Structure 1
Amino acid sequence: MRSRATLITQETYALLRDLIVSNRLRAGQKLVDRELAEELGVSRTPIREALGRLAMTGLIEQRARRGYYVCHFTVDQVIDLYEFRKMLETHSIALAARNAKPTHLREFEAILSEFKLLTGDPKDHARAAKLDVDIHRLIALAGANKSLQMAMENVLDKLMCFVSIEIDDRNALKVAYDEHEQLYEYVKNKDEAGASALMLKHIDNAERTLVQAFEARNALQRSILGSKQKRVAWQDK
């Protein structure tokens, strides 16, 4: 049986992870253990242990003599992550098509049923992102390969930062639902090749959307920085 201290650390880790992936703790933000402990109502010990775990997932980084900061992902890092995701998930879903049990299929159906009810309203955004990741976590579980499942858990923690961008409007939400429903059909029918091919397409679509969003963000930041530099130069004249 797990000790109370272990449970508190795991709960603290999950809470901090959710604060990061929901952007309530923003990219580049410094994470101060004392402040986080006060906010979450725990001691600093589980905060420090949770921060160490989060640093291992790549969601935060530890800077020498400066503490922990929420990671700021670049376009190149997103591309690297999604290339790795393709390698893992195309095989993961093939294994799911081979090994999925009736209980996995029923859970897949339940998630899809809830997903279908979402309207694309901004208030549904966080729920949609969680359901999306839940489907991919279930696929890894159904594959019945512990090592692959552990690798996917690490990737999925990072992906939660991006999924809300992938499904940021009603049309994208419908496309995501349709693709997940097709993935379910392939798994149910034990079509490993079909499931793997569709997963590759699904991830390619998600990567394309993300890269476009990041490039638009970077262009806006460059424009803002350029405007500031022009104002400073004008004031110095």
Structure 2
Amino acid sequence: MIYYIQKYGGGSRLLPKSTTQVKRTSIREQVYLRIQEWIISGELKPGDKLKDQQLADALGTSRTPIREALLRLEEEGMVQTKANSWTQVAPVDIQQAHRLYPMIWTLEKLAVSFAQANIKPEHIRQLGAINEELERALEQENALDAQQCDARFHQVIIDLSANEELIGVLDGLKKKLRRYEVAYFNGFSGAEQSVEEHKAIIAALIDGNFAAAAENIEINWKNSFRRRFAALETNGFANVLLEDE
């Protein structure tokens, strides 16, 4: 085992180099993450009013961490407020989606190039199994399960890139996209085509044609981009505006 010396109180001691601090999640952080998840998943929809006391009762906490969480979410663009009037879930920012999608498909193509040496037959089988789960979720019209299956499919390849910086950047970008994703799978407007596009990615990986796999990932994202906006309009996500009253 490798050790390092930590100095304290005029002396020093040996500690394992692998020592990590215990992670603690405060009540404030838990409240923030829970409300954020409700918004991202679509349980709280654009235009839904957010009342401090109602949220505090639901989460079993005081109003202070609720207010702090809503302030953070407002800074992130997920919540909107009108002074002395109301707080509500913000409408989906279509322009943000236009910025995010090209970034994501470009970085996922890069992930394929990093993942080449790490992709094994068992990973390809895993992709096939996840895609079958996606197909079943779509048949059952389960939007959340479908979104999660789609995310897991892409995450397999991203994780195999073994590039922590790339993984971190994509994780942050995709968190912002989840609101669009749930709306997309909730509408099922051509969402089943994602299954076929995933099959094309898998086929390219089986052939060892990583360039084709990367191109098929871009095709999947570009087609999904077009289909998602049709779904957003169908479900009214793109048309929720601030109320004046």
- Alignment partner, residue 39 of structure 1: 58
Does structure 2 conserve the Cα–Cα contact (< 8 Å) formed by 1:12 and 1:47?
Answer: yes
Does structure 2 conserve the Cα–Cα contact (< 8 Å) formed by 1:119 and 1:170?
Answer: yes
Distance 1:96 1:53 in 2: 35
Q: How does 1:114-153 map to 2 (within 5 A)?
A: 114-122=133-141, 124-153=142-171
Distance 1:91 1:149 in 2: 11
How far off is 1:120 after superposition?
2.8
Counterpart residue identity of residue 90, structure 2: C
Task: Answer with 21-30 or 60-69: which moved more.
Answer: 60-69
- Alignment partner, residue 115 of structure 2: 96
Any unmatched runs of 5+ in structure 1? 223-237
How far off is 1:217 after superposition?
6.8
Counterpart residue identity of residue 166, structure 1: Y
Does structure 2 conserve the Cα–Cα contact (< 8 Å) formed by 1:13 and 1:51?
Answer: yes
Supply the RMSD in Å over aligned alpha carbons.
3.7
Match of 1:83 among 80, 94, 102: 102
- Alignment partner, residue 227 of structure 1: none
Does structure 2 conserve the Cα–Cα contact (< 8 Å) formed by 1:120 and 1:170?
Answer: no
Query: Per the alignment, do residues 127 and 31 of structure 1 end up closer, same or farther by CA in structure 2, a change over 3 Å counting?
Result: same
How far off is 1:206 after superposition?
1.0
Does structure 1 conserve the Cα–Cα contact (< 8 Å) formed by 2:187 and 2:235?
Answer: no
Q: How many residues align?
A: 218
Does structure 1 conserve the Cα–Cα contact (< 8 Å) formed by 2:189 and 2:230?
Answer: no
Distance 1:125 1:180 in 2: 18
Query: Per the alignment, do residues 214 and 62 of structure 1 end up closer, same or farther by CA in structure 2, a change over 3 Å counting?
Result: closer
Secondary structure of the 2:139 match is coil
Counterpart residue identity of residue 60, structure 1: M
Give the alignment's TM-score, normalised by structure 2: 0.68
Q: How does 1:49-198 map to 2 (within 5 A)?
A: 54=73, 58=76, 60-61=78-79, 69-100=88-119, 104-105=123-124, 107-122=126-141, 124-168=142-186, 172-187=190-205, 189-198=207-216
Deviating runs (4+, > 6 A) in structure 1? 64-68
Counterpart residue identity of residue 209, structure 1: R
Task: Answer with 69-78 or 139-148: which moved more.
Answer: 69-78
Secondary structure of the 1:73 match is coil
- Alignment partner, residue 230 of structure 1: none
Distance 1:52 1:96 in 2: 39
Query: Per the alignment, do residues 213 and 116 of structure 1 end up closer, same or farther by CA in structure 2, a change over 3 Å counting?
Result: closer
Counterpart residue identity of residue 16, structure 1: I
| Identity score, percent | 27
How far off is 1:17 after superposition?
3.3
Task: Answer with 26-35 or 6-15: which moved more.
Answer: 6-15
How far off is 1:107 after superposition?
4.1
- Rg larger in 1 or in 2? 2
How far off is 1:72 after superposition?
1.6
Secondary structure of the 2:137 match is coil
Q: Give a deviation string over 1:199-233, Cα, whole Å, max 9, x none.
A: 11111111111233445677x969xxxxxxxxxxx
How far off is 1:102 after superposition?
6.2
Name whichever structure is richer in helix by fraction: 1
- Alignment partner, residue 231 of structure 1: none
Secondary structure of the 2:197 match is helix
Task: Answer with 61-70 or 25-34: which moved more.
Answer: 61-70
Counterpart residue identity of residue 211, structure 1: F
Secondary structure of the 1:6 match is coil
Give the alignment's TM-score, normalised by structure 1: 0.70
Query: Per the alignment, do residues 8 and 221 of structure 1 end up closer, same or farther by CA in structure 2, a change over 3 Å counting?
Result: closer
Any unmatched runs of 5+ in structure 2? 1-20, 241-245
User: Relative CO higher for 1 or 2, CA cutoff 8 Å, sep ≥ 6?
Assistant: 1
Counterpart residue identity of residue 95, structure 1: F
Does structure 1 conserve the Cα–Cα contact (< 8 Å) formed by 2:144 and 2:182?
Answer: yes
- Alignment partner, residue 226 of structure 2: 208
Distance 2:27 2:124 in 1: 32
